Amino acid sequence: MVFWLFLLAALTGHAQTVLSMPTGLVSVEGQIAAVVVQADGKVVIGGIFSAVDSVARGNIARLNADGTVDATWNPGADGPVAALALSGNTVYAGGFFLNIGGQPRTNIAAIDATSGLATTWNPNADLDVLTLAVSAGTVYVGGDFATIGGQSRPFIAALDATSGLATGWNPSGADGTVNALALSGSTVLAGGSFANMAGQPRANLAAINAITGSATSWNPNADNAVFTVVTSGNTVYAGGLFANIGGQSRAHLAAIDATTGSATAWNPGADSGVEALALAGNTVYAGGRFAHIGGQPRAYIAAIDATSGSATAWNPHADKRDVITLAVSGSIVYAGGNFVTMGGAFTGGFARIDATTGIAAATPQIFATPVVLAFQAQADGKVIVGGLFTSINNVARRNIARLDVDGSVDPGWDPGADDQVNALARSGNTIYAGGFFRHIGGQPRAFIAAIDAITGTATAWNPGADRHVDALAVSGSVVYAGGRFTLIGGAPRAFIAAIDATTGMATAWNPGADHRIQAIAVSGSSIYVGGRFTHMGGQPRTYIAALDATTGLATAWNPAADNFVDAFALSGNTLYAGGRFGHIGGQPRGRLAAIDATSGLTTAWSPFADGPVDALALSGNTVYAAGLFAHVAGQPRANIAAIDAGSGLATAWNSGTDNGIAALALSGGTLYVGGIFTSIGDYPRTGIATLTTPTDEIFHDGFGLHP
């Protein structure tokens, strides 16, 4: 599972003028990404949410055994919580936050289970923590980080449970995200999206000696990502996106012999990704995105016989979206995810299900701030909005909408996506959309679609990807798509593809990347790409590359970033880049850089942001940057800044938000801002807002005054 994550950075300055367009979004059901059950029956939940049963709770909460909110326990994380683990009186939390339990803690913390306060344990991960496992005084951690516990530990580490320092255990050579960890005796099992682990080629699943940190000979060799791993005796259960694992064809779910690494005969066969597993006796509980598993129709959640591989009669039937996390305690199955209903009841992202009947018990309602992830301005001044929401200004719209020039919702345009929209692009009268959806514009469309800008219906164009699309760009008759897919337009394409805008088929252009694509920009015969890859177009290219539009091969242009590149903006011969990097083009550049589009060298422009930059926009001599930061160019700027394109200095324009920004777009003199914030420029705005952009005529004293 991938979800957009941001942190809180609550700084304020002179308020930028916010236009009067109606921009409030009503609350939607929150996402639960992690669940752990305490010995006393209380349940700790983590994810992305702002309230539980109308009780304010920031992304982490504890429920009493009867399902009510524990009023005495409130650590309050300022960013998403993706992983939880228990050890005695300590709750370990991982995710993408800056503060939790009343203390500054970057992406990982230990919380006192009695007080809800953070302990002194502080490993300080530089990027998100996605999975945790605890054993005998050691906390094993996986995610996207490069440093943790004071040491370089890319993607996987072991931390001393007392000091928080990284131990000597170091499976060096890990080259991709670790999504799941499981412990089995003296072995640490790791699943994720990697090609190498602990100095050995290990595709997406590996076993590591818990003493030495070396990879064992066990090698199931999964052909796609592994999201979840659990063990029982001599069997390792794995779920993910794979079609082959352990030497056998196994669709998304498999049982693997813990000694040989071969898949057993157990073969439930899911029709889409498996994201969560839990074991109880002879039953394997599975959650994910599937509609069929174990030979039966089962929507997103199922119980599977551990002997036969068949689905049992247990059938809670989740509605609308995936199940991300599962836990079993006694006669209750706890499920968390993006769903709205489960077991016949409205549950809103968290459910307590009877393990016998499949009926959901009374469940608290989880609410979250809506997310706006993408904009696309039309020639007529209307703006398309994409993200994860159920309404805009109290007008029902699912994940995609259009705003008229006055900011009101266009009443005649309603494509209605059944899941998150990550990316938008436009060509004439066609709007291209990418994301997590399976239906949009009234038609089944897997992760990518073309929408008629007049009617809002999906056109016949239907490339059909096997996993989500995160970036789009259009050039002439070609639609460039990037994301996490390995199949699109009827052909195998690793993370990036060129699709014929008429037929929907993949062209022969096939650069092939080794990891996710986050950003695409087109300039003449060059296709610039950014993301998480280390190889692209047949060459080693770390996180940023230029591809030949004819051959698909990487050009000699090679700025070589040292961390992820997530956003681009082009101006003439200058490519502006934002992301997580500290160095790019051979120079130190704090998450923002300007790169010569011909030579690949960085210019002298160096604003330096102290947190990730996820969106960029250009207007004349101004570069707008947004994301997750608190300072830019030495000035306090909460998540958004206007930077002089010549000097690299922050201008006086200063509109702070109380949470992260994911998308920017300019239309005329208006800057559209999207994210998960609830206020901007001292005005209440939930998820989306418009700001004036300063010009010589209307700029004054830090305020853009609307003419």
Q: pLDDT by residue (tens digit) across 255-288? A: 999 999 999 999 999 999 999 999 999 999 999 9
- pLDDT single digits (tens) 545-575: 999 999 999 999 999 999 899 999 999 999 9
Contact 544, 577 (CB under 8 A): yes
What pLDDT, in 10s, does the model give residues 566-604?
Answer: 999 999 999 999 999 999 999 999 999 999 999 999 999
When pLDDT is cut at 50, 70 and 90, the band that residue 463 belongs to is very high
Whole-number pLDDT of residue 390? 77
User: Residue 657's pLDDT is what?
Assistant: 87
The two tokens of residue 124 are: 């300080």
Query: Residue 54: what pLDDT?
Result: 79
Contact predicate 222/238, CB 8 Å: yes
Residue 313 makes CB contacts below 8 A (sequence gap 6+) with none
Query: Does residue 459 lie in a domain region?
Result: yes
State mean pLDDT over 205-232.
96
Contacts 24+ apart (CB under 8 A), 107-113: 107/143, 107/145, 108/141, 108/148, 110/164, 111/60, 111/75, 113/38, 113/73, 113/86, 113/88, 113/89
Strand residue runs (E) in 294-382: 296-297, 301-305, 323-329, 332-337, 341-342, 345-346, 350-354, 366-368, 371-377
Decide if pLDDT at 23 tops 60: no
DSSP state of 191: E
Residue 147 confidence (pLDDT):
93
541 in a structural domain? yes
Assigned domain for 403 exists? yes
What does DSSP assign to residue 349?
T
- Least confident residue range of 357-361, 511-515, 572-576: 357-361
CA gap 180, 161 in Å, rounded: 19
Residues near 467 by Cβ (< 8 Å), separated by ≥ 6?
A: 241, 273, 447, 483, 484, 485, 486
Are 63 and 70 spatial neighbours (Cβ–Cβ below 8 Å)?
A: yes
Q: What is the pLDDT of residue 58?
A: 87
Q: Using pLDDT thresholds of 50, 70 and 90, give the confidence band for residue 29.
A: low
Length of the chain: 707
Give me the phi and psi of 403, to 5 degrees please. Answer: -105, 135
Whether 433 has a pLDDT exceeding 60, the answer reads yes
Residue with the bigger pLDDT between 290 and 681: it is: 290
- 4: pLDDT strictly greater than 70: no
Q: Is residue 669 part of a domain?
A: no
pLDDT in tens, 62-121: 999 888 899 999 999 988 899 999 999 999 999 988 889 999 999 999 999 999 999 999
- For residue 564, give the CATH number of its domain: 2.130.10.10
DSSP state of 164: -
**Nearest Cα to Cα of residue 394 among 678, 683, 23:** 23
The residue written with tokens 């996986």 in the block is 142
Question: What pTM did the predictor assign?
Answer: 0.74
pLDDT level of residue 677 (50, 70, 90 thresholds) = confident
Nearest to 333 by CA among 289, 284, 372: 284
Contact 579, 596 (CB under 8 A): no
Q: What CA–CA distance (Å, rounded) separates 59 from 51?
A: 8
For tokens 């010569």, what's the residue? 596
Q: How confident is the model at residue 179 (pLDDT cuts 50, 70, 90)?
A: very high
- Residue 337: the pLDDT is 87
Q: What is the DSSP letter of 15?
A: P
CA distances from 70 to 43, 47, 66, 337, 478 (A): 9, 17, 10, 21, 54
Amino acid at 648: G
Domain presence at residue 593: yes
| pLDDT attached to residue 14 | 29
Residue 15 in this model has a pLDDT that exceeds 70: no
pLDDT reported for residue 287: 95
Best CA proximity match to 133, nearest among 84, 179, 99: 84
- Residue 47 domain flag: no
Average pLDDT over residues 141-166: 95
Nearest to 518 by CA among 591, 661, 440, 422: 422
pLDDT band at 391 (very low <50, low <70, confident <90, very high): confident
Query: What is the C-alpha separation between 454 and 442, in angstroms, rounded?
Result: 14
Tell me how far CA of residue 295 lies from CA of 303, 312, 425, in angstroms: 12, 10, 39
**Res 362: pLDDT:** 64
Domain count, the chain: 1
More confident residue, 222 or 345: 222
Q: How many CB atoms lie within 10 A of CB 23?
A: 25
In the structure, what pLDDT confidence band is assigned to residue 664 with cuts at 50, 70 and 90?
Answer: very high
Q: How far apart are CA 450 and CA 294, in angstroms?
A: 34
- Write out the H or E segment, with its range, that includes residue 421: strand 421-427
Residue 503 has a pLDDT of 97
pLDDT at 9 over 70: no
Buried b (16+ CB within 10 A) or exposed e, 477-503: ebbbbbbbbbbbbeeebbbbbbbebee
**Structure confidence at residue 474 (pLDDT):** 97
Q: Which two tokens stand for residue 632?
A: 């830019």
Which has more confidence, 496 or 19? 496
Across all residues in the chain, what is the average pLDDT? 88
E strand map for 512-579: 517-523, 526-531, 535-536, 539-540, 544-548, 565-571, 574-579
Burial 224-255 (b: 16+ CB within 10 A, else e): bbbbbbbbeeebbbbbbbbebbbeeebbbbbb
Residue 438's pLDDT is what?
86
Q: Is the pLDDT of residue 8 over 70?
A: no
Q: Out of 19-28, 451-460, 487-496, which region has the weakest mean confidence (pLDDT)?
A: 19-28
HSE-CB of 366 using CA atoms within 13 angstroms:
30
Mean pLDDT throughout 677-705? 60
Whole domain around residue 552: which residue ranges? 371-618
- Token look-up 């818990």 returns 210
| Neighbour count for residue 88 (Cβ, 10 Å) | 9
Sorting pLDDT into bands at 50, 70 and 90, what band is 48?
confident
Spatial contact of 625 and 609, defined as CB atoms under 8 Å apart: yes
422: closest CA among 485, 371, 496?
A: 371
Backbone dihedral angles phi then psi of residue 140, each to the nearest 5 degrees: -90, 140
Ranges 7-11, 171-175, 363-367, 432-436: which has the least confidence: 7-11
**More confident position, 545 or 698:** 545
Name the CA dihedral angle for 252, 80, 165, 532, rounded to a multiple of 10 degrees: 60
The arithmetic mean of pLDDT across residues 449-466, rounded, is: 96
pLDDT over threshold 60, residue 289 = yes
Question: Which pLDDT band holds residue 341 (cuts at 50, 70, 90)?
Answer: confident
